[in-house]
Structure 1
């Protein structure tokens, strides 16, 4: 089986790209808004391009931009970005049964390319954590579709940032795109409750300086999510009991 470089002619590669195509429209809109926001925050053309290509984490980019613009300490920027991306630690544990047989270099590259929606779409297609030959080409099709959609629109936003009027309300459009992407990730009672707790905590802590309400919201959501996972549910014994 050809694993790297990916074979675009593989039917599973094309299937992964096709499954990701509808979500790529929202990803592209979000990328456009993020590209504009980076330039208007004062990063400039080349630094914005570098951030888009190297960081490739829309939520972390948007969370850090107000901090960069206000001259927040570097540790606050790093801590905020790390907190926003903590969910990928959980995602990586879920990916392990599928990708553990791959060489480390390929796993590192896929870890850079894989996003929330790639995780959702892949897990829906392959719910059983058992490696199969079609999984890797399918994943490549999805992650490359996502990456191209993001980078094309992000670069477009960066290049046209000085031309696009602020009155167009792209910030609000980006918020709507982000809400749509977030909604697609809410697939269980635990995720819905964690999202509502995060929203309430963010509003309650809005007065904190340096956008620290984002960190408070993330911490509250993680705490509630862990608690929900340990609560007994239908057909599941309480945590700590023997089965």
Structure 2
């Protein structure tokens, strides 16, 4: 832990760390709404306060938490719960493969720590700024500082909102429609990140595939949506017209 704190100290003093914080702060309200809703949903599903807090801190993945909660309360077999969470979070395998060149030079403890903190938004914001990993020490430090700043703010906003939701679950009326508010917030964030034609095509294909495959068990429609979007974009990427310096 001392090594983690010593390494982090050099990063949070870098200007890129503050830039990562600021840019994540501009999009985190939607994630906070999602975290609040998840905290409420965990308690409403019958989990104890301790269980809900532990799940929020250890799992830190709203979509898999929401998918696993009804299975846990229904007494489903452990393999079903784990398989569902794995399928819902399968996209992080792709994220990890993409992020590996950026982090491979770090000690294992730092890679594990960054892997725990990294979410969809922190990954998207980071890769939008840094298209390629650097071989220079100063640039690597800047990239890690930016990633750490954004990921830390995202974690704090999510956990803070989730813990508030857990604490106030029995006070907040269910008819407030927090789930729908969280979905709308995430939809707004997703639309703002669809900054190129290829990304918009990927979002549209994923959305349509998820709806068509909605009847599949274990939330497998999400896996179908991801696979469909990735497969189509890999086919289109080579022939898709790009502006000079643009990233698909």
Same fold (TM over 0.5): yes
Q: Quick check: 1:57 aligned with 2:57?
A: no
Summarize deviations over 1:43-102 as a string: whole Å, max 9, x none: 121100000000001111122223334443332221121112111111112212221111
Quote how far apart the aligned CAs of 1:38 are. Answer: 0.7
Task: Specify the alignment match of 1:31 in structure 2.
Answer: 35
Is there any run of 5+ residues in structure 2 with no aligned partner, and where?
1-5, 243-248
Match of 2:51 among 47, 52, 63: 47
The root-mean-square deviation of aligned C-alpha atoms, in Å, is: 2.3
Quote how far apart the aligned CAs of 1:110 are. Answer: 0.4
Quote how far apart the aligned CAs of 1:32 are. Answer: 0.5
Report the number of matched residues: 232
Is the contact between residue 3 and residue 136 of structure 1 (CA under 8 Å) also seen in structure 2?
Answer: no
Counterparts of 2:124 and 2:196, CA distance in 1: 12
More helix by percentage = 2
Distance 1:124 1:48, change over 3 A: same
Task: Specify the alignment match of 2:176 in structure 1.
Answer: 168
Counterparts of 1:6 and 1:129, CA distance in 2: 19
Counterparts of 1:157 and 1:196, CA distance in 2: 31
Quote how far apart the aligned CAs of 1:155 are. Answer: 0.2
Q: TM-score, normalised by structure 2?
A: 0.83
Task: Specify the alignment match of 1:196 in structure 2.
Answer: 204
Summarize deviations over 1:208-228 as a string: whole Å, max 9, x none: 5xx53x213422431441243
Summarize deviations over 1:186-239 as a string: whole Å, max 9, x none: 44555444443443344344445xx53x21342243144124303441469xxx
The alignment partner of 2:13 has SS state of coil
- Which of 214-223 and 163-172 deviates more? 214-223
Is there any run of 5+ residues in structure 1 with no aligned partner, and where?
237-243
Task: Specify the alignment match of 1:77 in structure 2.
Answer: 81
Q: TM-score, normalised by structure 1?
A: 0.84
The alignment partner of 2:146 has SS state of helix
Runs of 4 or more, structure 1, over 6 Å off, are none
Task: Specify the alignment match of 1:139 in structure 2.
Answer: 147
Task: Specify the alignment match of 2:114 in structure 1.
Answer: 110
Counterparts of 1:168 and 1:233, CA distance in 2: 47
Is the contact between residue 186 and residue 192 of structure 1 (CA under 8 Å) also seen in structure 2?
Answer: yes
